Amino acid sequence: MKKFLGLLLMIVMVLSLVACGGEKQKPVSQGESNQKTSKELDQTKDPASEDTDLQPEEGAELLVWESEGPELEWLKEIAEEFESKYGIKVNIEAVGAVDAEERLAQDGPAGVGADIFAAPHDHLGSLIAAGLVQPNTNTGERIKNEFMDAAYSAVEYQGTVYGYPTAIETYALFYNKDVFPEAPKTYDEIIAKAEEFNDPNTNKYVFMWDIQNAYYSHSFIANGGGYVFGQGGTDKNDIGLDNEGAIVGAKDMLKLKDILPVNSSDSTTQIIEGLFDEGKVGAIIDGPWAVQGRKDAGLNFGVAPLPKMSNGEQQPSFSGIRVLWVSAYTKYPNAAKLFLDFVISDEALLRRFELTSQIPPVKALAEANEIKNDEFVVPFLEQAEYAVPMPSIPQVQYMWDPYGAAFGSMWNDGIVPEEALKKAADAMRDSIVAEEE
């Protein structure tokens, strides 16, 4: 009986182990993991948790694409520090941020693309649609809580964070201190100054901007209440470029034609920067990338937030976020994410600012001495509070040409805003409909 009971107990224990352990899970190979689409990755990711203890893959070696310039040099410096700490080799290659998406689509499937690449935030929608990026599973909560709202919005799509923001950019008012001893706070001040400063015969104008560039001119439309896409730039079926507020903003903008009687083709960024450096223009709209050029020209200038419009509201602006992304084709996703966590640390982003003068998108860093004491940086930070991220859904590609043409037709040909903006909005709507057919 004892032998029988012992045998029976052993059988029960074996059956219990089988029931508890079940069939052994087959480990997912790296190749299988890389075949997952963004949607599948979203479904397997628990949004309430993050990978806080990433273990890099054995033998990991990373290739990173970044644009030529100081940001590339910064990345090389950070890569050396990372390699010294973790023993993971990081190779940096110069590939333009605007070119990376197309190149990865070609090189990724062949296994020769980057593990990490730089691309503007407004590429997010097309990157996801093409299955080129993996979600950010390790620092999404930090980005949500510690980064500027514009930076978080720029890398978040339908509740999932994808990229790693490295800088925020918007534009502001550059003013010649010999013309405006104090930064003009309203367009009324600028218009009043034109009476004594303007001389069209010698190309002297109190104020200029790149009129037909929708990136800059959208700020006038947005001031009235116009927008590109509804729901924070995510609803392709809600286009607000021709709504009542947009028309009000366009009419406000056209009042400036009295003090800037030129064709839009004679008011491009290259032209206005040249005239500004010569002292022939009192103020221009430009971005932080233009600061060093004005310094090199020896100009006595300052930077300030954009002026207030006739409605008394601060003029908004488009903002752009520089972002690094993890390729969907990488063989080393853990190592890539570990490196990017290192890259967007406060220390690394502050060092990036020192080398590039590009503003880190972390809220706390605005109080760093290097930033808060820089007279040419603080105004951009102030303007960023009123900035709206450029839409990043794929359909944004249908905006730029018709929208820019609308500004040209209003300014040069006298087409009324109601007609010009409706034509641009309808062109976008038609393109979206055609895309769905």
Q: Which of 122-126, 174-178, 308-312, 315-319 has the highest mean pLDDT?
A: 174-178
Radius of gyration of the chain (CA): 26
Give 52's pLDDT tier (boundaries 50, 70, 90).
Answer: low
List phi, psi (to 5°) of 299: -80, 145
Residue 368 pLDDT > 60, yes or no?
yes
When comparing pLDDT for 29 and 403, which is higher? 403
Report CA-CA distances (Å) from 23 to 18, 27, 30, 125, 311: 8, 12, 21, 39, 69
Give the model's confidence band at 37: pLDDT under 50 very low, under 70 low, under 90 confident, else very high: very low
Torsion sign over Cα 60, 61, 63, 68:
positive
Q: What does the pLDDT look like over 180-215, one tens digit per residue?
A: 999 999 999 999 999 999 999 999 999 999 999 999
- Tell me which CATH homologous superfamily contains domain 58-169+320-387: Periplasmic binding protein-like II (3.40.190.10)
pLDDT of residue 385: 87
Question: Which of residues 423 and 27 earns the better pLDDT score?
Answer: 423
d(CA 70, CA 72): 5
Asked if pLDDT for residue 46 goes beyond 70, the answer is no
**Taking residues 371-393, what's their average pLDDT?**
92
Averaged pLDDT, 47-71: 84
* β partners of residue 66: 94
Q: What is the C-alpha separation between 303 and 170, in angstroms, rounded?
A: 12
Q: Is 310's pLDDT higher than 90?
A: no
- The phi, psi pair for 329, rounded to 5°, reads -95, 0
Residue with tokens 């110069």: 94
Q: Which CATH superfamily is domain 172-318+390-436 in?
A: Periplasmic binding protein-like II (3.40.190.10)
Instruction: Please report the pLDDT score of residue 51 as a whole number.
Output: 64
Domain ranges for the chain: 58-169+320-387, 172-318+390-436
pLDDT band for position 50 (cuts 50, 70, 90): low
The DSSP output letter for 28 is P
What are the backbone angles phi and psi of residue 406, rounded to the nearest 5°? -65, -40
Instruction: Give 130-171 as a DSSP string.
Output: TT-B----SSHHHHHHHB-HHHHHHHEETTEE--EEEEEE--
